[in-house]
Amino acid sequence: MSIDLHCPQCQKLIRAPDNAGGKRGKCPYCGGSVYIPTPPEETEEIGLAPIDQTEEERARQLRREAALFAADVGHGTEGGDLGDAEPDAPSAGVDIDSDIEAFVIAMRDSQLDDAEAVSDRLKQVTREARKRIQQMLAENTCPVVPDVPPPVVQGFVKTLLGRVKQ
């Protein structure tokens, strides 16, 4: 039996002997170089390995964690500190709701040093401050501040959340 193929240069039909499969040869018509494929019956079919469900679930979990991490980094936690070393107990003298409002007012008035001082104070109670800020954002209960539209207040509160996470 022979191997039938077409020359890639001149498109003429070529019949090569079976033992030429997997080698290169010259087209008898145009002299161009031709790869002679292996006959189909000589190729061994290799089956696919079965899917490991445990490994697939692990890969899905890693993708979820990576997406959460990327979202977290995208919201102001650059620098690698994800707040793991937070204090467990609230510090005395920190009123989270008042400080959130003070931060928004400082941002409204462009008092960036005051806003930074408030965010530093809230970092003392990072876990509690983050919970409260996230609750405010989720329930849409951000403080009402005169002369500041609610979407701007919400933006300031999101900025504070990013700063507290640092």
Q: What is the pLDDT of residues 61-91, one digit of tens each?
A: 888 887 777 776 665 444 444 444 444 444 5
Q: Is residue 24 part of a domain?
A: yes
pLDDT at position 154 is 92
Count of positions (residues) in the chain: 166
* Domain count across the chain: 2
Task: Give yes or no for a contact between 113 and 132, defined as CB atoms under 8 angstroms apart.
Answer: no
Mean pLDDT of 94-103: 89
Which residue range(s) make up the domain with 115? 96-165
CA distance 134 to 166: 15
Q: Is residue 46 part of a domain?
A: no
Strand partners, 16: 3
| Token code pair at residue 51 | 């899917």
Q: Is residue 87 part of a domain?
A: no
Task: Give yes or no for a contact between 103 and 160, defined as CB atoms under 8 angstroms apart.
Answer: yes
pLDDT at position 88 is 41
Q: Is residue 120 part of a domain?
A: yes
pLDDT at position 95 is 87
CA distance 39 to 57: 40
Strand partners, 4: 15
Q: Is residue 126 part of a domain?
A: yes
Amino acid identity, residue 4?
D
Q: Is residue 78 part of a domain?
A: no
Q: Is residue 109 part of a domain?
A: yes
Q: Is residue 59 part of a domain?
A: no
